[in-house]
A and B are shown apart, each in its own frame.
Chain A
Amino acid sequence: MSETTAQIQANYMALVNRRRLYGGLTLLVFILLMATGFNIADARNAGGFWEGLHRIGDYPADVLSEAWEKRADLPGLLLKYFPALIETINIAAVSTLIGALSGLVLSLLATRGLARWPRLIPLFRRILDIMRAIPEIVIALMLIFILGGGPVPAMIAIAIHTAGALGKMFSEVAENADLKPVDGLKSTGANWSQQMLLGVIPQVAPNYLSYTLLRFEINIRASAILGFVGAGGIGYELRNSMAWGPGRFDEAAAIFILLFGTIVFFDQLSSRYRNRLTEGAHQ
């Protein structure tokens, strides 16, 4: 029994009207939540959003005007804080490397179809969840309390978070990997590590590297922030110069310039390499 065109039209219109009703209701709920949520947040704010809004540019203006007055010192300051910047980048690089390697192992152990011990997949997944869930700054503060200030606690804190975050992404990539090469290697009597090393890694390497480079960029920012809590590097210097208030704003400006330049530099560098990895080098 086939329907007539008129029936099909009527049925489809009913479907469309139902969809529109649901869509409209969702939109209404969204707008209501946004509006009421904003009011609650504003009421709980210490200063008040609207009273503070026009002063939002005051601090940057102070920094800029003072930096401009003392612009002659700027090259010297850039040179002075350059070693601190290197320390920050080093923290990021080491933690990315360690985090990516442990993330790689954990991800393979947590992927369905690839795991060495399939029953332990939930365990490894939870481990990854925990590593991601605890903020870097909390781990760093704990470790600074135990180990004392310096770059090592920051490095460990960022590496833990990186392993959790990358492990999750790696595992999603590995889930889509083709299992035929793994079966082929298994049939020759290869052990699990050999199967992973030769059957899976070559397939997923471009994606993994691309995610790792992205993570490196994020970690530079993270390592600068951890400097604020005493983990060394450029963040520490930035906090000092900002906490002093007017008088050392030229130093703050120099550090901002260094940070901005570094992030732009590594962003460009990594996006270039990521493009090459995903699209292949141009002949």
Chain B
Amino acid sequence: MLKVERLTKRFGEKIAVNKATFSAKKPSMIGIIGRSGAGKSTLLRMMNRLADASKGSITFKGEDITALKGAKRRAWQSRCAMIFQQFNLVPRMDVVSNVLHGTLNRRSTFATMFNLFPQSDIHQAIEILDRLGIAEQAPKRAEALSGGQQQRVAIARALMQDPDIILADEPIASLDPMNAQIVMEALRRIHDEDGRTVICNLHTLDTARRYCDRVIGMRDGKIVFDGTPSQLTTGAARDIYGAGADFSEAATSTEIETLERPDTKTKVPA
């Protein structure tokens, strides 16, 4: 279904993503982990076509995505929703309008200018918000919401696009553990209930382990690990993060429970 082949991105001398290759045969929930600067974001931006690939190709259901231009590229972007770390909503507009932005690819500039969204879309937007548990916030301005709520609005915008793929670029990196859990559970539910592919950049190991069926590890632009969460041993994780023997999973954790886990091997100085 989805095939990424030798995908490469150069910024001048620097290679951000180096011959990334992976494929997914059926809709799945994939977590991409790695240090900051490993090329995770660039990889997702290329898949959405926010950034152009320097080399290599992305194929979805037999269609070459990297070759799309103009209106066709925008049509692909509407089928491949993106969620950002900083939510990237329009802060001064109300929540429902932000969700309706998911339909912009189907709307003319004229209809957008006069805010002429059909009633059925408005109702659908509020139903999606209800599904994510924030329907009460519908008429508020996006900037008035908490981070966790804003990220759920961003997810609602993505769902409004009715996409085949949802790309999430560090969706929980700006959220506290409680909200991080709500957002990750929402993404998991979207995969389970709607059968959409979710590809999620994460910088914490345990989140990837807990919510994803498959984990891809990136280091310095290269894919260095690709397997199930159970195959992701501490040794493999050290490889991905380029860390030494003192590396423990708890060090990257955002989960509340890990802080109290008795088996973490923290040395207490005598």
Interface residue ranges, A against B (CB under 8 Å): 2-3, 5, 8-9, 11-13, 15-16, 19-20, 23
Set of chain A residues within 8 Å of B136, measured between Cβ atoms:
2-3, 8
B237 in contact (CB, < 8 A): no
Set of chain A residues within 8 Å of B127, measured between Cβ atoms:
5
A8 in contact with B114 given A13-B119, A13-B122, A16-B122 (CB within 8 Å): no
Pairs across A and B, CB under 8 Å, 9 listed: A8-B135, A8-B136, A8-B138, A12-B122, A12-B138, A13-B119, A20-B115, A20-B116, A23-B114
Set of chain B residues within 8 Å of A11, measured between Cβ atoms:
139
B107 in contact (CB, < 8 A): no
The number of residues on chain B lying at the interface, defined by a beta carbon within 8 Å of a beta carbon of chain A, is: 15
Give A15 to B115 CA distance when docked, in angstroms: 12
A19 touches B126 (CB 8 A): no
B92 in contact (CB, < 8 A): no
Write the nearest CB–CB distance from B237 to chain A, whole angstroms: 36
Cβ-Cβ contact count across A and B, 8 Å cutoff: 34
Give A5 to B137 CA distance when docked, in angstroms: 11
Set of chain A residues within 8 Å of B96, measured between Cβ atoms:
12
Set of chain B residues within 8 Å of A15, measured between Cβ atoms:
139
Give A3 to B139 CA distance when docked, in angstroms: 13
Set of chain B residues within 8 Å of A16, measured between Cβ atoms:
115, 117, 122
B123 in contact (CB, < 8 A): yes
Set of chain A residues within 8 Å of B116, measured between Cβ atoms:
20
Set of chain A residues within 8 Å of B122, measured between Cβ atoms:
9, 12-13, 16
Interface residue ranges, B against A (CB under 8 Å): 96, 114-117, 119, 122-123, 126-127, 130, 135-136, 138-139
A9 touches B114 (CB 8 A): no
Smallest Cβ-Cβ distance to B136: which chain A residue: A2
B115 touches A12 (CB 8 A): no
Interface SS of chain B: helix, strand, loop or mixed?
helix
Set of chain B residues within 8 Å of A13, measured between Cβ atoms:
119, 122-123
A5 in contact with B130 given A11-B139, A16-B122 (CB within 8 Å): yes
In addition to A5-B135, A16-B122, A20-B115, 14 A-B residue pairs with Cβ atoms within 8 Å of each other are: A2-B136, A3-B135, A5-B127, A5-B130, A8-B126, A9-B122, A9-B123, A9-B126, A12-B138, A13-B123, A16-B117, A20-B114, A20-B116, A23-B114
Smallest Cβ-Cβ distance to A7: which chain B residue: B135
Write the nearest CB–CB distance from B126 to chain A, whole angstroms: 5
A12 in contact with B126 given A2-B136, A5-B135 (CB within 8 Å): yes
B119 touches A12 (CB 8 A): no
Give A53 to B139 CA distance when docked, in angstroms: 50
Set of chain A residues within 8 Å of B126, measured between Cβ atoms:
5, 8-9, 12
B115 touches A19 (CB 8 A): yes
Smallest Cβ-Cβ distance to A23: which chain B residue: B114
Smallest Cβ-Cβ distance to B126: which chain A residue: A9
Set of chain A residues within 8 Å of B135, measured between Cβ atoms:
3, 5, 8
Write the nearest CB–CB distance from A29 to chain B, whole angstroms: 15
Set of chain B residues within 8 Å of A23, measured between Cβ atoms:
114-115
Give A83 to B96 CA distance when docked, in angstroms: 63
Top 6 nearest A-B pairs (CB, nearest first) are A5-B130, A9-B126, A8-B135, A9-B123, A12-B138, A8-B138
Give A158 to B38 CA distance when docked, in angstroms: 56
Give A3 to B137 CA distance when docked, in angstroms: 11
Write the nearest CB–CB distance from B124 to chain A, whole angstroms: 10
Smallest Cβ-Cβ distance to B137: which chain A residue: A8
Write the nearest CB–CB distance from A54 to chain B, whole angstroms: 32
Write the nearest CB–CB distance from A123 to chain B, whole angstroms: 35
Give A20 to B96 CA distance when docked, in angstroms: 15
Give A64 to B150 CA distance when docked, in angstroms: 61
Smallest Cβ-Cβ distance to B97: which chain A residue: A16
Smallest Cβ-Cβ distance to B135: which chain A residue: A8
Give A8 to B96 CA distance when docked, in angstroms: 11
Write the nearest CB–CB distance from A67 to chain B, whole angstroms: 43
Set of chain A residues within 8 Å of B119, measured between Cβ atoms:
13
Write the nearest CB–CB distance from A115 to chain B, whole angstroms: 31
Write the nearest CB–CB distance from B138 to chain A, whole angstroms: 5
Interface centre among A3, A8, A23, by most chain B C-beta atoms within 10 angstroms, is: A8
Set of chain B residues within 8 Å of A2, measured between Cβ atoms:
136
Write the nearest CB–CB distance from A18 to chain B, whole angstroms: 11
Give A2 to B134 CA distance when docked, in angstroms: 11
Set of chain B residues within 8 Å of A19, measured between Cβ atoms:
115
Interface centre among A11, A15, A16, A19, by most chain B C-beta atoms within 10 angstroms, is: A16
